[in-house]
Amino acid sequence: MTARTRASVLIFPLAALFAGPSPAAEDATLLKDLTSVIMLLGLPCGQVVSAKRQADNDHIASCKNGYRYRVFVNPEGRVVAQKQ
């Protein structure tokens, strides 16, 4: 077995493991949080299906109904959801 083969045998399983689910879990938590916030603010959304982080505490949330909101914390410390 060549060195290259050995390396690939080690690298591929590791890559598969490290590319694991933690990001997905994080996403699920964030999506649920954004969904709750938008609901709490009384805005139509249904469920947030994806989110794009723009900065700390600043995300663009895409809802199941097609709406998009920018959810962020303003300088006064209030959570705001702005329809895009």
Partner 1 sequence: MRTIAILVLGLAACTGVKEAPPSVPPQAEPVVVAPPAAVAAPPAAVVAPAAVVASPAAAPPQPATTGKETVATAPVAGATAPSKDEAAKPAPPPVKAPAKAAAPSVPTEPSRKDPAPSPVAKAQEPPLDVAALTARLRDTKAIGTFTKLALKNQVDDLLGQFRAHYQSGRKTGIDSLRQPYNMLILKVLSLLQDSDPALARTISASREAIWSVLADPEKFNSLT
- The minimum distance between CB 3 and partner 1, in angstroms, equals 12
Binding stretches for partner 1 (CB under 8 A): 1, 6, 9-10, 13-14, 17-18, 20-22, 25-26, 29-30, 32-34, 36-37, 40-41, 56-57, 71, 73, 77-79
CB atoms within 10 A of CB 20: 9
CB atoms within 10 A of CB 40: 10
Measured from the CB atom, the residue of 10 and 65 that comes closer to partner 1 is 10
Please report, for the chain, how many H helices and E strands are present, in that order: 2, 4
What Cα–Cα distance (Å) separates residue 23 from each residue in 12, 30, 42, 78?
A: 19, 10, 29, 27
- The minimum distance between CB 36 and partner 1, in angstroms, equals 4
Measured from the CB atom, the residue of 20 and 66 that comes closer to partner 1 is 20
